[in-house]
Chains A and B, each alone.
Chain A
Amino acid sequence: MELLLLILIGILYATGIFMMLRRSMVKLLIGLILLGNGANMLIFLLGGITRGKPPIIGETDKVLTGVYADPVPQSLILTAIVISFGLQAFAIVLLKRVHALIQTDDLNDLNTPDTSI
């Protein structure tokens, strides 16, 4: 399972960065989303994977005993997902706005601020 996740994370990071380096705005956006997901999976993996042992204290116990899943990475991912969702929504709106203004998908045409005096 760890190995599988590891490969998946590698693929997500690699494709994410590859897509960001393309000239199309849509591909840039896809790259950002893939990278964000890759980071979330990485947190999940590095928190340690435990199968079928939720961190819930039993009715008779006072504290958690034995092996249990670490709840912290899951709450971290939850936070990160919410944040990246908001940021991606903003990025989509921004790209749509830019597309409406300059009528192209090519990032190379975005040089008004650099060339204007």
Chain B
Amino acid sequence: MTDRYLILPIIGHMFTAVLLIFFWRKVNTQRIISVLGSLAVMGLSVGLFIKTYRAGYLTMQAGNWQAPFGITFVADVFSSTMILLTGFTGLAVCVYSTVGISRQRIQYGFFPIFHFLLLGLNGAFLAGDIFNLYVWFEVIIISSFVLMTLGGRKPQVEGGIKYVTLNLLASVMFLTAIAILYGLTGSLNMADLSLKMSAIPNKGLVEITGLLFFIGFGIKSAVFPLYFWLPSSYHTPPSAIAAIFGGLLTKVGIYALIRVYTLIFVPDPFTKQVFLVIASLTLLTGAFGALTKRNMRMMFSYLIVCHIGFLLGGIGMYTRLALAGTVFYLVHDIIVKTNLFLVSGLIYKIRGTMNMDELGGMYEDYPRLSLLFSVVFFSLVGIPPLSGFWPKIYLFRETFTTGAWYLLAAMIIASLVTLYVMAKMWGDVFWKKGQEMENKLTDDFSGMNWKKRGMLITPVVFLAVLSLYIGFFAQRINVLSERIANDLLHPEPYIQAVLGADAVKTPQSE
């Protein structure tokens, strides 16, 4: 079904960002416009989600150039779910950053860049053309480069170099893969590619192209040998920025990987094996990395790496339920990881440090906040009935049906280590006796008025409620993610929606 309004979530952010540029120096105006813009886009995202949930597939041909020649935008249930999540987390982080981001950073253009980042994310989720996906990825990384280094403190720019280098390398890999793909098929439209790929006689070259895509997206989503840029850069920017990075930037790589590997390439046993081994190693290295860190945010960065392994393992198993588990985990992970970094920012505001050895006594001083934080922490661990528990059932079960025992072992170890580090962190930061008063660093938080405090706490509450919703109404997310998995494994309706109803029936040997 053609729908001209499906790109509204992109347009909304673009409009907000451009509007913000006109108020470059006016901090308060920027705050208000940005929150209103995020709110509007969230509304539009909800609208898009409801529309795609009813219709299944929406397409838009830019400039009315018909696919496969023009640039296609496609919204299916998967992409609109991702846009919905981007809308939720975008709003939460936007509200948080009105207080959480310093005045100087806002004057250097934090808010416009933030909206450009979300614009790129929404674009990447809607792209139906592989080169267009590349362009959206570039929009995302250039915005994230600026956000990463905004402020220009020493650790920030040093972490920034690693981040920039590895992401540029990932882009080159992505571009190389696109070049080979275009050389093989002469097309860039993902639906068209899906039809043409099966007709290529040289399967070896197809496989190599697929693995090049995997390397490109793998660097972006921080899988095993290519993850080291993440823990050395994600803890350097302010928490609000780290929250949007941790929640969405690695996940957009996973989204693209799922898209490419269900629509264009179909993994053969060798590729599946590669995925499973790399997923296991990602789980283990991420988990053990988290064990060694005493800085809260560095530990959380390693946990991002660790939990990417769950997502990748689901793709590697490539059954309907495993993909459903991956999608469910994606939904849960985006909300919880974003919230985790927001919480770490709040703790930093209260205590002035991230070092767990120096922290302590939070429960004594802020019992109600601590209760709120515990929801976030234990959703991440996946203690039933909180949200992390349900997708793991799918993933664990599918390791039995596919016989991926080492993945099961890695998942269990990773879950256990996650539980251990979170419990240890809880003991250190909340239950341990607080430091002596003279060692206590400045408390920014208690000096704030209730409005500012509200702006910091409301987003955390909002995301915590969302993750409680995922936990307690898991059935609904189940239905959603099984439907998405079904769509992913049967791409014919997607192709028909883009290329027209008779596209699939034409003999592919022509």
Contact = CB atoms under 8 A, between A and B. Distances in A.
Interface of A: 20, 25, 28, 32, 35-36, 38-40, 42-43, 45-48, 70, 72-73, 76, 79-80, 83-84, 86-87, 90-91, 94-95, 97-98, 101-102, 107, 110-114, 116-117
Contact of B165 (A28, A45, A84): A28
Interface of B: 131, 135, 138, 141-142, 145-146, 149, 152, 154-155, 157-162, 164-165, 168-169, 171-172, 175-176, 178-180, 182-183, 186, 188, 231-233, 235-236, 294-295, 354-355, 357
> Dominant SS at the A interface?
helix
Contacts of B231: 114
Contact of B182 (A38, A43, A91, A101): A43
Nearest to B160: A94
Contacts of B355: 117
B164 A94 contact: yes
B145 A42 contact: no
Main DSSP-derived SS at the B contact region: helix
By Cβ-Cβ distance, the 10 closest A-B pairs, closest first, are A46-B183, A43-B179, A113-B155, A39-B175, A113-B159, A42-B179, A110-B158, A83-B138, A35-B172, A112-B155
Nearest to B175: A39
A113 B168 contact: no
A98 B162 CA distance: 12
A113 B135 contact: no
A46 B142 contact: no
Nearest to B162: A110
Nearest to B356: A117
Contacts of A48: 183
A101 B161 CA distance: 13
**Most chain-B Cβ atoms within 10 A of its Cβ — which of A38, A48, A113?**
A113
Contacts of A101: 154, 157-158
Nearest to A35: B172
A48 B184 CA distance: 11
Given A28-B165, A47-B183, A79-B131, 16 more contacts: A20-B169, A32-B168, A36-B172, A42-B180, A70-B186, A76-B178, A83-B135, A90-B146, A94-B149, A107-B161, A110-B162, A112-B158, A113-B235, A116-B155, A117-B355, A117-B357
A24 to B, nearest CB: 12
Contacts of A40: 175
Given A76-B131, A101-B154, A114 B232 contact: yes
A117 B298 CA distance: 8
Given A46-B180, A46-B183, A91 B164 contact: yes
A40 B160 CA distance: 25
21 contacts: A32-B165, A32-B172, A35-B172, A36-B172, A39-B172, A43-B178, A46-B180, A48-B183, A70-B186, A72-B182, A79-B131, A87-B145, A90-B146, A94-B160, A97-B152, A97-B157, A101-B158, A112-B155, A112-B158, A116-B295, A117-B295
Which one of B141, B154, B168, B176 has the highest number of Cβ atoms from chain A below 10 Å of its Cβ? B168
Contacts of B135: 79, 83
Contacts of A46: 179-180, 182-183
A79 B131 CA distance: 10
Nearest to A91: B164
Contact of A94 (B161, B233, B294): B161
Nearest to A17: B169
Contact of B175 (A43, A97, A111): A43
Contacts of A39: 172, 175-176, 179
A98 B168 contact: no
A38 B172 CA distance: 9
A113 B233 contact: yes
A78 B290 CA distance: 43
A55 to B, nearest CB: 13
A78 B387 CA distance: 45
Nearest to A28: B165
Among B154, B169, B179, B295, the one with the most A-chain Cβ atoms within 10 Å of its Cβ is B179
Q: Interface centre among A40, A47, A76, A79, by most B CB within 10 Å?
A: A76
B157 A94 contact: yes
A98 B158 contact: yes
Contact of A87 (B138, B152, B180): B138
A94 B145 CA distance: 10
A113 B236 contact: yes
A73 B294 contact: no
B347 to A, nearest CB: 15
A75 B63 CA distance: 17
